[in-house]
Structure 1
Amino acid sequence: MTMQEIVSSTPTHAKMDRLLLGDNQFFGINHMSEEKARAQAIRFQDTEAIIGVIEVALDHGIRTLMCTTHERIAEVCEHARANPQRYADYRFYPCMPYAHKYANAVTDSGMLGALRQFLPDEGLLNAAMRGGRSLLTQDVEGIITLLVDAEMKMFHGLNTPVIFLQNVVVDLLLGLGFDEAFTIFDRYVRERYGSEPGYITMNLPMLLQTLGRLGIENPIVCANINEIGFRMSGGIEAYERALRDRRFRPVAMSVFASGAIPPQRALEWIHDHAAVESIVFGASSRSSIENTVRTVRELWDGNA
C-alpha cells in the first residue's frame, strides 16, 4: 500500500505558505563558504539587523519564520510581542533543540542556573521535578516533554502552528532505531501546544519509512531537495520516489545548494520535479527577497 492510499488521522492541518524565511544566515551558517558565513555572522551581530530582514520579508508577504531556538530568536519574539498589530498574522516555526545553547548555559551558569534559564515560568517546580524523576527513572517521555517545554518558553503568546524536531536529533533517532521518541514528540506537540509536529532530516526516504511504520500519517517533513543532490542522503532518485510515492507534506530546504545553483534555475527545478508544499530559504538582503518572491509567484501562479 502506498502513502496515497492512507487517510491521515489528523483532522486539520496547519496551512503553510509557499515561502518560509529561514534563519541560518543570521547565525553564520553557510554549508559552502566559511568566508561568507563569517561575514554574515558579523553583519547580524545586532538583533536589529535580523529584525530588519524579517520586516523586509514581511513587507513582501513572507509571514513565517522557520527558526532555531537560538537565544537571539528570543529577542525577535519580544519584538513581535511588542508589535501585535504588525505581527498579528505572523507565524513562528520553532526548530528544536539548539544544542549549543544548553552546553553554553551549563558552562556559564551551572546545571541549576541552566534549568532556571530554560524551564517554563509556569510550573517551574513541577517541570524540574519531572525532569529529575525522568533522569532517575530513565523516563524518556518525561525528558522529551521537558525539553520541548524548555525550548518553547521563548515563544509564549505567539503563533506556532508547526514545531519541528531538528535533523541532528531526528537522524540520530533513526540511526539508533529509537522509534518511540517520534511518537512521544508527535503526541506531545499536538496535545500540549495544539500544533503540528514537523521533522527535519538529511535522510528523507528512511524517515518516511519509519514514520509510516509508526502510523504517523501525512507528516510535515523538511529535507534538502535540489537538482544536484546537495546534502541529500540516498541520492536524487530515492528522493524523487519518496516525493512521488509517499503521502507527506514536503518542505524543501537547501534548494539553492548554498549558492551553487542560480536561484531561477533552482526554483524552476523544484517547481517541475518536487511538488513541494513549502520552500524555506535564507535571505540577507532586500534584493534577494524580492527576486525570490517574484520568481516563486511567476512559477506558482501568483502564490508565494
Structure 2
Amino acid sequence: MSKTCLICTDFTDGLERLTEFVPDLAQSNLTHVIFFHSVSLEKQGQVPREDSRAIKEAEAKLGSAILLGLPEGVKVSVEVYAGNPVEGVKRILDKYHVDLVIVGTPIRSGWKETIFGSTSTGIAKLTESPILIIRPQLISTYTREELSLRCQHLLRYLLIPYDDGENSHYCVKRLKEHVEGFPETTIKKCMLLTVVEEVRRSKELTESKMSQAQAKLAEVQKQLEGVALEVNTEVREGDPIAETLKAALHSDISAIVIASDYQTNPLDWTVSSFANDILHRSWYPVLLFSPKR
C-alpha cells in the first residue's frame, strides 16, 4: 500500500513465508519490510528470562530474507523480542514509521477469538496505520508462483462496503489520503458496495432505498475518481455480510476494506458489528482502519 510494511508472524500463521518474496512485495510499492516475531520468556524459578536460543533461531529464520538478492532501494529489517508481542510491536512502531501492518489469525485459537486474535486487537489500539489481516488457511494454500503474484498485487483491487456511516466515510477519507500522498500507489481500482436490507411487505420502500443508495455511491465514486482511481459501484438487496462476501467472490478483489474503533473501549471488539462479522467470517484478506479518538 505504501513504503514501510511491518509483518508480524508467530510462525503458525504462514506469514514467515513472505521472507522469500520481498522482491515481489517491492512491486507493491514497499521499500522497507520489517519482519517481527515475539519469543516467550523462559521461566527459571521465579524469574522470567529471555530465551536466547529461541531468539537466535527466530532471527536466523527471518533473516533469510536479507540474504536474498533485493532490488535496489529495498531494505529488510528483522526484529525479535522476548515477552509480550503487543509490547514488542509498540517498540517497533516507536522505532520506525510504519505505513502498513500485516498480521495473521493464530491457528491455535482462530475460532476461539471473538474477532481476529488478542494480539492483533492490541496492535489495532496502537496505530492508525492500516492493518491487513490474512488467514493462515489462505496463505498456506498458495503455491510459490501464486504467492509471488499475490505479493506483487497486494492491494490492487479493494472492495469497500459503504453504508454512508462514520466508518464508511473514514475508509473513503483514508483511501483518498493515501492515493494523494503516494501517486505511485499500486492500488488501481475499488468497488463501492451498498447492501440494502429488504423491507418486508414494502417493495416500494426497498426500491426507494436502493435508488437513494445508488445516488450516494455515485457521489463517492466521483470523489475517488478525482484521485485517479478506477471505481465501480453496486447496490444489492439482502443480508449485508452475505452479499459482501458474494461480491468479493465474483469481483476478483484483493481485500475487503473496513473501519472500526478498537482504540477506546477494550470491550468494543467483543460486540457484534458489521466489521467484527467480516473479520470473523471472511476468507478474503481484510484491510482494517482503526481510527484514534
Shared fold (TM-score, shorter chain, > 0.5):
no
TM-score of the superposition, structure 1-length normalised? 0.26
More strand by share: 2
Give the TM-score normalised by the residue count of structure 2: 0.27
